[in-house]
Amino acid sequence: MAARTPQEPAGKPVPEAANAAENELLGEGTLAEESRDELLERIRLLEAEKEALTAAKDIAEEESARLSAQAQSALLTSGVVERFAGKAEDGETDLWFYRIDLAPAGGDHLKINGKPYLHGHTYKFDTDTLRCIKEMVARTWVHENDINGHAFNPYKQHQNKVLGGGAAPAWAYQ
């Protein structure tokens, strides 16, 4: 149906010529029947492509979430893992080999009860001592991230602060 202007009364009939032109534009003529079928086929193909892209997007989002979780879990640990070394002489205590991998700002050794454990060396620890050593190593990496400006909290928004008097430079407001 043709559009009406506010000046035209609502009950006024639309001329037949306008209906014929409208039918032709909407595809209700014989020539437009072929193009309508082509358009429907094109719509079907586009919808199939949209479904494929949506599936690919979902896969990419899942992969991104997996990699994000992996990066977050690796935040406190390096690639160093402990290896089982057997049982202690008492037969009950587990022993573990562990290589000390300190952060650059963490110094060159850790001390427990006055005994130094040097960076880069592998030692045999019981389970309780291993927990202490791993916590100390993790804390050196947290400290390293803090002093280098890497945010430990990935959800905290960065604040671009400029210290000094007067107006801040234009780049500080970005």
Tell me the C-alpha to C-alpha distance, in Å, between residue 61 and each of 54, 57, 125, 153. Answer: 10, 6, 41, 22
Q: Is residue 92 located within the same domain as residue 142?
A: yes
Q: Is residue 11 part of a domain?
A: no
Q: Which residues of the chain have pLDDT under 50?
A: 30-32
Q: Is residue 115 located within the same domain as residue 135?
A: yes
How many structural domains are present in the chain?
2
Q: Is residue 39 part of a domain?
A: yes
* Domain span at 35: 23-71
Distance of CA 4 to the CA centre of its chain: 52
Q: Is residue 94 located within the same domain as residue 51?
A: no
Q: Is residue 112 located within the same domain as residue 142?
A: yes
Q: Is residue 63 located within the same domain as residue 105?
A: no
Structure confidence at residue 105 (pLDDT) = 83
User: How many Cβ atoms are within 10 Å of 125's Cβ, its own excluded?
Assistant: 20
Coil, helix or strand for 38?
helix
Closest CA to 170 of 160, 158, 155, 159: 160
Structure-token pair, residue 118: 């040097």
Tell me the C-alpha to C-alpha distance, in Å, between residue 100 and each of 44, 52, 71, 148. Answer: 61, 48, 21, 21
Average pLDDT, the chain: 78
Q: Is residue 142 located within the same domain as residue 93?
A: yes
For the chain, percent of residues with pLDDT exceeding 70: 64
Distance, CA of 143 to CA of 150 (rounded, Å): 10
Structure-token pair, residue 40: 């429907």
Nearby residues of 112 by Cβ (< 8 Å), 6 or more positions away: 129, 132, 133
Longest dimension (CA), the chain: 105
Q: Is residue 63 located within the same domain as residue 89?
A: no
Q: Is residue 129 part of a domain?
A: yes
Q: Is residue 51 located within the same domain as residue 99?
A: no
